[in-house]
């Protein structure tokens, strides 16, 4: 008797072949447009949560991969993102000083 497991989640491009090599049959479909962006956001949340739970480089690499797909799908460029990052770094700083804002008064 075959065991069926349901997933309904965005996976990396080679996952169907990886499963097939392990003797596991899979049913897949391709998506586009709004559904693709929605699934990328879900995947980003999943990968961030995995990093929060496991706190390792592999999960960070997964986050970078999803961010790259989002950048491409939105028609942005990594160079434009980096330019924005550097502008913010110059204007507001980074996080090296490990500062916690506890209170303000006006």
Q: Is residue 100 part of a domain?
A: no
Angle, CA of 98, 42 and 68, to the nearest 5°: 70
Q: Is residue 58 part of a domain?
A: yes
Q: Is residue 69 part of a domain?
A: yes
**DSSP of 29-66:** ----HHHHHHHHHHHHHHHHHHHHHH--HHHHHHHHHH
Q: Is residue 62 part of a domain?
A: yes
Q: Is residue 14 part of a domain?
A: no
> What tens digit of pLDDT does each residue of 23-60 get?
999 999 999 999 999 999 999 999 999 999 999 999 99
Rounded to two decimals, the pTM is 0.88
The parent domain of residue 72 ranges over: 32-92
Q: Is residue 74 part of a domain?
A: yes
């Amino acid at each position: 008797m075959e065991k069926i497991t349901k997933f309904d989640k965005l996976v990396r491009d080679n996952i169907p072949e990886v499963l097939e090599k392990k003797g596991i049959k899979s049913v897949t479909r391709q998506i586009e447009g709004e559904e693709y962006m929605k699934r990328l956001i879900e995947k980003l949340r999943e990968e961030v949560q995995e990093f929060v739970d496991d706190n390792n480089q592999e999960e960070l690499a997964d986050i970078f991969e999803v961010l790259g797909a989002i950048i491409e799908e939105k028609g942005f460029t990594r160079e434009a993102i980096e330019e924005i990052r550097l502008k913010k770094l110059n204007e507001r700083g980074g996080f090296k000083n490990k500062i916690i804002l506890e209170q303000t008064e006006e």
